[in-house]
Each structure stands twice: as C-alpha cells, then as structure tokens.
Amino acid sequence: MSLQQDREELRTLLKAKSVKTGKFTLASGKESDLYVDCRVTTLDSRGAVLVGRVLHDLLRQEEAKRGLAIGSLGGLTMGADPITLAVAMSSGMAGDNPPVQAFVVRKEPKGHGRGKRIEGNFITEQPVVVVDDVITTGGSTLKAIEAIEQEGGKVAFALILVDRSEGGREAIESAGYPVVAAFTRADLV
C-alpha cells in the first residue's frame, strides 16, 4: 500500500473510532464541541500499524528538511506511548540505520529506584522528537519538552497525530519548537 493510502485509511479510522462531537470538558478545562480520543485508534492493531507508517514518514521528512539525525522520540505517558512505539517499530521495519529509539516521559519522577522521569531508550547525544497524540492548548507537549530538556535532551520538533487547531501549535511554536502534525481538526471533521 502507498503512504497516501495508509494516511487515508488512518484518517478514516480516526474519524470512526476517535472523533466525537457534542459538548465536552477537555483536560485543559476548556469546553469544546469536539473530543478526540486517539488511544482507541493508536491501541488498535491496524491503527498502530498505520500510525507507525504515517508518522515515521513525517518524522523522516522533517528530519531531512532540517538536516538532522534524530536519535530517539517520546512524550508524556499515556497518549504518546503507543505512537512512540509504533514509529520506532516502523523505523526498525523500514531498515533505518540506525533506527529511531523510543522513550516515555513520566508525569512525575519515579518515587523509588533511580527516581527516573524518562524511561526507555532516551538518547541525549542526538536531537530528539517530542510526541503527542492530540494538542489543544499544547500544555502536555510543553510539559514533556521541559522534562526532556531537564534530563539533557535537545528537542528538534514536536510530532503530533492530531492538532485540534485551538492554539496548541501556536503555543508550542512560540516556545521555539516546530510542530509537525499528521492531521488537523479540518481533516477529521
């Protein structure tokens, strides 16, 4: 299948499984007529394959455009976790040499052991990509960026599955981090 077919199938799956209209209170506290629960798509067996392929392609395009060599990617648990792993697996299956590695950013440092805030294959020697499933205000993405930078990571850009087009992109970009989103509100509604 072509990448365009993968993208269209993923868009259809997101619309069928993840996009709800009505009246909702979001994590940011804002009221909205749109709710996007990407987890039912990113944790779907077919959805995970499509997310991996589509976002791996976006990652590599942006990496080439910026002349970078991305070492790892990850974001705030829980929304970023399945996306991060899907992209890393797609990188491995595509034969990338070396493949991009995956990490997870905890909401709070672990209260035992080494007290780590970032778990997995976090590579600070190369630029990293922050991942998020949905951005509204950009708060979760910015929180992940802050944690990554506190641990010595240099964030190159944000890789987002769905940009709700409600100011999140602008907030992240005004903090100095480019945003690359697979889909926007207009693509899904």
Sheet holding 72-76, edge to edge: 118-120, 101-105, 72-76, 128-135, 155-163, 179-184
Q: Please say whether the beta carbons of 152 and 124 come within 8 A.
A: yes
List, for residues 65-117, the tens digit of each pLDDT value: 999 999 999 999 999 999 999 999 999 999 999 999 999 999 887 666 666 89
pLDDT at 114: 63
CA angle 76, 179, 4 (to 5 degrees): 100
Low-confidence residues of the chain: pLDDT under 50: none
Helical ranges in the chain per DSSP H: 3-17, 39-42, 45-66, 81-93, 139-150, 168-174, 185-188
pLDDT at 174: 98
pLDDT at 9: 98
Strand partners, 179: 158
pLDDT at 24: 86
Q: How many domains does the chain have?
A: 1
Round the CA-based radius of gyration of the chain to a whole number and report it: 16
Domain of 129?
3-188
What CATH number does residue 177 fall under? 3.40.50.2020
pLDDT at 118: 95
pLDDT at 33: 86
Strand partners, 186: none
148, 178, 160, 144: which is closest to 14 by C-alpha? 160
Q: Report the alpha-carbon distance of residue 90 to residue 51 in Å, rounded.
A: 9
pLDDT at 112: 63
pTM, full prediction: 0.94
